[in-house]
Structure 1
Amino acid sequence: MSTVFTITFGLLVLAGVLTLVRLARGPRTLDRILAVDVLVVLIACGVAVEMAESGRGMNIALLLAITLLGFLGSIGAVRLIEDRKDHR
């Protein structure tokens, strides 16, 4: 089973690197906001995989906090961008 977790972590790291490339390249602000949201989801997936590998659910509060902060951050950023577009 350790091989499955290693492959999963490897794929999550690869997805994280590709997401960081998208974050750096842009080209629009909404692309960068989406990349940050995907990065938060990948971090939450990494925490969930680590919890499954260790067999302990002690990090469930951390997982919930990460997902809540990611969701609220994305909503706040999108509202900020929409407000900027309404004033043009």
Structure 2
Amino acid sequence: MTYIIYIALFFMIAGLTMSAFRFVKGPTAGDRTVALDTLTIITVAAMVLLSYVFQRIIYLDVALVYAVLGFIGVIVIARYLEGAL
């Protein structure tokens, strides 16, 4: 079971690296917004995985709050880019 967790963490780190590269290098603001949302989703998934590894329920609460704040942030950025804000 621990090998599966290590493999999942490896893929999460690889995804974080690629998303961070797109966030920094992205040619448009839309690309950067999608990369930021992807970074948020991968971070939430990592928090859930760490909650399982350490058997701490508080990490799930933190992940949920982080996911909601990330969603609201992406909505605000999208509205700003659209010109509605």
Unaligned residue ranges in structure 1 (runs of 5+): none
Q: Deviations over 1:63-84 (max 9, x none)?
A: 1111011000000000000017
What is the match of residue 45 of structure 1?
A: 45
2-structure distance, mates of 1:60, 1:20: 24
Q: Which has the larger displacement, 52-61 or 63-72?
A: 52-61
- TM value normalised by structure 2: 0.92
Structure ranking higher on relative contact order (CA contacts 8 Å, 6+ apart) = 1
Question: How do 1:3-82 and structure 2 match up within 5 A?
Answer: 3-82=3-82
Runs of 4+ residues deviating >4 angstroms: none
For the pair shown, which has the larger CA radius of gyration, 1 or 2?
Answer: 1
How large is the RMSD of aligned CA atoms in angstroms?
Answer: 1.2
2-structure distance, mates of 1:59, 1:20: 23
Q: Deviations over 1:7-31 (max 9, x none)?
A: 1001000000000111111110010
2-structure distance, mates of 1:9, 1:64: 19
Q: Is the 8 A contact 2:50 2:59 kept in 1?
A: no
2-structure distance, mates of 1:83, 1:48: 35
Q: Between Structure 1 and Structure 2, how many residues are aligned?
A: 84
Unaligned residue ranges in structure 2 (runs of 5+): none
